[in-house]
Amino acid sequence: MSVTITQKIIAKHLEQDIIEYQLISANGFQVNFLNYGGIISGIYSHDAQGQLDNIVLSRSEFDLENPGHWGATTGRIAGRIAGAKFELEGQVYQLNDNKLGNNLHGGPGGIDKKIWQVTLLTDGAELSHFSPDGAAGFPANVTFKVRYQITRDNRLTISYSATCDRTTIINLTNHSYFDLSAGKNARGMELEIAAAHFAEIDATGCVTGKLCSVSETPFDFRQAKALDRDIYAKHPQLELANQGYDHPFVLDNTLPIRLCDPLNGRTLEIITDEPCCVVYSANFTSPKHIAVCLETQRMPNAINWPEFRESVIFSPDKPYHSQTHWQFGVK
């Protein structure tokens, strides 16, 4: 495997170095990430004319707060937990309310705000973080591991795992914002998702516990369509998300999620063992809709949703693991 790995110190935090690592394949495909929050800070992919551009949103300077969670590994629980609380084994856990009464992405003490240990591999790196019992209000000592591995054919594989010393809840994802147009026409990207149902949200952005059919709605991506074709439609679910998508889609099968830029030919296929993909169309960036997040994960708020509850409960005898492949290319 011909992967070149370089690194540079970009900042200091709590007297520790913030390091950006660059994983570079033989053909120039490149993935940059930070030891802070496992943030993916760049993905460089060729278009049909051979032009190499960064196709994820990234900040020109290190930002400790990282509003919008750009590129971060989010958790312990990705998405919103309703009322910022949950019950587990007879105990109620109260978390930080950091988003309209809910806990979002693990709260202000989430793993996206921690410095991770990095071990280099021949084709990438493994990041690890120990989260002590009670961190951000969650139970159990948990050791998290995330692997980023690239190939010369433009694939990034993200492998997540976690072990815990008692029962807890876990649901991780990566929060990269994709713009295959590299700043030219993100709204024109075409998305295809084999999903017949999406989860309804309330005015706080949290799922309500109801699944809705995508048929004859702006949420039908079973055939590829441009993101902006229906994003401005008068639909209450779009309006609740600040006129855009911020919804979990229940994946029907193992077909890849597909994203493409029809102008420059760049493509992304996502293959995952996760049951859901949260589509977030950057409704709160300025300007709006400058990218799209495709967050593969368990159902948000699953712990408070009986149908999905068991999917996020883990124990010493039931470790957490998940894998998602991002295959970049051209058409």
84-88, 92-96, 112-116, 252-256: lowest mean pLDDT where? 252-256
Pick from 195, 156, 197, 132: nearest CA to 56: 156
How far apart (Å, rounded) are the C-alpha atoms in residues 8 and 12? 12
Q: What is the pLDDT of the chain when averaged over all its residues? A: 97
Per the annotation, the verdict on 239 as an active-site residue is no
What sign does the dihedral 232-235-237-241 (CA atoms) show? positive
Per-residue pLDDT tens digits for 215-269: 999 999 999 999 999 999 999 999 999 999 999 999 998 899 999 999 999 999 9
Per the annotation, the verdict on 13 as an active-site residue is no
pLDDT at 166: 98
* β-bridge mates for residue 213, sequence order: 197
* β-bridge mates for residue 94, sequence order: 85
Name the pTM for this structure: 0.97
- Give domain limits for the chain: 3-330
Pick from 271, 215, 277, 225: nearest CA to 251: 277
Phi and psi at 236, nearest 5°, equal -60, -35
Active-site residue (options: 175, 247, 289, 325): 175
Q: Averaged over 164-182, what is the pLDDT? A: 98
What is the residue type of 313? Answer: I
pLDDT at 37: 98
In the chain, the largest separation of any two C-alpha atoms, in whole Å, equals 59
What sign does the dihedral 96-97-102-103 (CA atoms) show? negative
Domain 3-330 has CATH 2.70.98.10: yes
Active-site residue (options: 20, 190, 274, 295): 295
Q: Averaged over 63-78, what is the pLDDT? A: 97
Tokens of 211: 């699944």
Res. 199: pLDDT tops 90: yes
Q: Averaged over 290-315, what is the pLDDT? A: 98
Res. 38: pLDDT tops 80: yes
